[in-house]
A = this chain, B = another copy of it.
Amino acid sequence: MPKASVKTIFGTALRSLREERGYSQEHLAERAGLHRNYVGGVERGERNIALENIVKLAQALSVRAKDLFDALP
């Protein structure tokens, strides 16, 4: 099995936290001021998300940015 990419690991963590909150992708995107398609792309590991959007998503999930990195090296 190939090693999961950084983007995939991050996306999985994001999805997991979002689902814990019971938020749809659309609801999370609205809370963060981002587009739903963008959030979907991040969750699928297709986007190399940058710092400012990482912090926006963390705040929209009521977690700290570092909590999204728990599964990363």
Contact = CB atoms under 8 A, between A and B. Distances in A.
Interface string A30-73: 00000000000000000011111011001100001111011011
B69 A73 contact: no
B50 A48 contact: yes
A7 interface: yes
- Determine chain A's interface SS by DSSP, over half rule: helix
Nearest to A67: B66
A51 B52 contact: no
A64 B72 contact: yes
Most buried by B among A10, A48, A51: A51
Contacts of A66: 66-67, 69-70, 72
